[in-house]
Amino acid sequence: MAEINLLKSLPKPKRNISNRNTEKTDHHIKISRQYGKEYFDGDRSFGYGGYKYDGRWVPVAKDIVKNYNLTKGSKILDVGCAKGFLVKDLVDLGFEAYGIDISQYAIDNAPKDIKNRLKVGNAKSLPYDDNSFDLVISLNTIHNLDRDECKMAIQEIQRTSKTSSFIQVDSYTNENEKSIFEDWVLTAKFYGYPNEWLNLFKESGYTGDWYWTIIK
């Protein structure tokens, strides 16, 4: 188990930290939690503000392969894969990658060449046998469940991974970061300081790696 910054090559999201409070309403939270068109390809105040394939995950895919010493034929699952861009980049590098996401819209709008590798489903109950994958990753997804469901999702990641797993979730390390996070958060239901997450990992029997998404 280790803390690893696997997403270090990803461009930082552009956020105007001072104006979130004025843009976030219960309506925004309700719509974004539907993970539909508005969340991915609607106005920025509902989520991504437009999410198209641009190759940003390629260096991350290479870092994942290197860090976990994956070899051609290694099987990887991305839990909360959105439109499957990371799955595509891993497949293009020669790996057996698959994805699952709760959003029918995201899967419908995935690149055509990898759509057959993606499923609509919930992280809290993965439709795969025990030890199905060499690596199971879940990036910025399981914090969208409440604490009990989040624990189920962590246990599912643990169950389906044969060797390695990696989870990245929302967190903060001081009161200032917490306040910025709480101004911004739309979809996350369970979040906390690193030690709160580490307690949940331990409680869930998780033996994989992790990292934090911190808005600064």
**Buried b or exposed e, range 182-196, using 16+ CB within 10 angstroms:** ebbbbbbebbbebee
Rounded-to-integer distance, Cα 86 and Cα 64, Å: 10
Question: What is the per-residue binding string for ligand SAM in 81-100, x denoting contact by CB under 6 A?
Answer: xx------------------
Question: What is the per-residue binding string for ligand SAM in 22-61, x denoting contact by CB under 6 A?
Answer: -------------x--------------------------
Question: What is the per-residue binding string for ligand SAM in 156-185, x denoting contact by CB under 6 A?
Answer: ------------------------------
Q: Which is nearer to ligand SAM, 70 or 81 (CB)?
A: 81
Query: Backbone phi, then psi, for 151, in 5-degree steps?
Result: -60, -40
HSE, side-chain direction, 13 A CA sphere, residue 74 = 20
Rounded-to-integer distance, Cα 45 and Cα 22, Å: 10
Q: Which two tokens stand for residue 130?
A: 């025990």
CB of 102 to ligand SAM, least distance (A): 4
Q: Which is nearer to ligand SAM, 60 or 70 (CB)?
A: 60
Q: Which two tokens stand for residue 127?
A: 């439709």
Query: Hey, which residues between 127 and 146 contact ligand SAM (CB under 6 A)?
Result: 139-141, 144-145
Query: Backbone phi, then psi, for 39, in 5-degree steps?
Result: -65, -45
Whether the CB-CB separation of 16 and 30 falls below 8 Å is answered with no
Q: Which is nearer to ligand SAM, 44 or 71 (CB)?
A: 44
Rounded-to-integer distance, Cα 196 and Cα 4, Å: 18
Q: Which is nearer to ligand SAM, 35 or 46 (CB)?
A: 35
Give the interface with ligand SAM as residue ranges (CB under 6 A).
Answer: 35, 80-82, 101-103, 106, 122-123, 139-141, 144-145
